[in-house]
Chains A and B, each alone.
Chain A
Amino acid sequence: MTDEALALEIKKIIVESLALEDIAPEEIETAAPLFVEGLGLDSIDALELAMSLEEKYGVTVGDDPDENQKIFYSVESLAQFVTVQRS
């Protein structure tokens, strides 16, 4: 899967798993911050998203808060995380 395709897939997961009604996956910017200042998502959203990614890609999101802060920064960082964990 290309990086772009993976990014779009992750955007779809974000919109679906967080039930973001007013937003289309394509509207989410790949490099923009997702949480607080970006889409205004909170830590429950992050956890919910982590659980969806774990289910879909068989990855494991650890519990190191600082590490998670980096992983959940943007779609780009999430895609990177998924790619590294799957390789």
Chain B
Amino acid sequence: MKSVAPASPASSNATWAQLAESGSLFAARLMRRVYRLLGRRLSSGLLWPIALYFSIVRGDGRVAQRRYLTRLRVVAPELDLPEPSFATCLRHTHEFSVNIFDRMVAWGGELDDIEFLHRGSEHLFSLAEQGKGAILLGSHLGSFDMMRLLAGRHGLAVNVLMYTRHAEQIGRFLAQLDPDHPVRVISLDPSSTRTAFEIRQCLGRGEFVGILGDRIWPGDTGRREWIPFLGHPAPFSLRPFLLAGLLGAPLLFSVCVRRDAATYEAIVEPLHSGGIVPRGERDAQARKWLEQYVARLEQGCRQTPYQWFNFYDTWHTHERGA
């Protein structure tokens, strides 16, 4: 019998990153005002003291942050990363602040202030032209939200799957901040039969569904696979990959990373061009796609080491030990 996902209380891993992800309306509006007043250069200078503040005050994400930086350093000696210290963590946190800052700028409608490079976006456009939906496999690498905004600007409908507890909060926050471009949220509710049907509905309308594949939601222990990531096995959910095989939806690895002061690169790489996978082969195929996804994610971490913002116990050390 399949394992039952217990209805767990909010995870104790509710890190500052989650708080920052949900954000605060006041801070967002303040940032936007400062941005308009001072311009990009000056206002982004203010992010260092903010990052410093977070590095000192919000200590609970730091363990996860250090573990990530340490593991990356060990598997990628060619990067010559320094040993994790307060300074490297500060740099990482600063990069996260820039990420949030740019998101606020983009939400405020100043997407034109940010330059975008494209690699593989044509896959998205060609699917959209054919009226075909797809599953976009995102992650906490770079900014999936930037990807969503960019796709939206090109007229593509992107729905984002979010854990229920965050969905309402984030949805409300974004609606207040950017009323013209409401985020389309599909709520992930492990205790209900609805999520997969909602995804089918969106894909059926020829829309895109964004899923962040590098986070297991609190209490969700079903359909996990332990895949080596930065040298240690970590649990990942098979669900997005099983759905792609079941519904025959194309599957695309999608990421948007910062390349330069105000330049982002949107990268889209197909993992599956579409087509239903026969039942008997579905589990094995899903696992293959998941492995490709994790390998691609790891490659991204090597390319932009300070842009993976998963301040969370990725390797579930509480289950397996460090």
Binding site for B on A (CB under 8 A): 17, 19-20, 22-23, 35-37, 39-48, 50-51, 61, 63, 65-66, 68-69, 72
Contacts and interface: CB of A to CB of B under 8 A. Distances in A.
A51 to B, nearest CB: 7
Contact of B201 (A20, A41, A42, A63): A63
B300 interface: no
B246 A72 contact: no
Nearest to A46: B193
A39 B201 CA distance: 25
B308 to A, nearest CB: 27
A75 B247 CA distance: 24
Most B C-beta atoms less than 10 A away, residue of A20, A43, A51, A68? A43
B2 A65 contact: no
B225 interface: no
Contact of B1 (A17, A22, A35, A43): A22
A51 B5 CA distance: 23
Contact of A42 (B1, B190, B200): B190
A63 B204 contact: yes
Nearest to A18: B2
B4 interface: yes
A43 B195 contact: yes
Nearest to B283: A19
Nearest to B198: A65
Contacts of B317: none
Contacts of B190: 36, 42
Contacts of B239: 44
- The secondary-structure label for the interface of chain B is helix
B246 A40 contact: no
Interface in B212-258: 222-223, 239, 242-243, 246-247
A44 B1 contact: no
Most A C-beta atoms less than 10 A away, residue of B197, B204, B239? B197
Contacts of A17: 279
A68 B243 contact: no
Contacts of A35: 193
A61 B200 CA distance: 11
B29 interface: no
A42 B246 contact: no
A68 B201 CA distance: 13
Interface string B192-207: 1111111011001000
Contacts of A66: 194
A19 B278 CA distance: 13
Given A42-B5, A44-B243, 4 more contacts: A20-B1, A36-B4, A36-B5, A46-B197
B253 to A, nearest CB: 21
Given A44-B243, A63-B204, A68 B2 contact: no
B176 interface: no
Contacts of A39: 1-2
B191 interface: yes
Nearest to A67: B197
Given A17-B279, A42-B190, A42-B222, A47 B1 contact: no
B3 interface: yes
A82 B201 CA distance: 21
Given A40-B3, A42-B222, A68-B197, A47 B246 contact: yes
A8 B242 CA distance: 27
Contact of B4 (A40, A47, A68): A40
Contacts of A48: 246
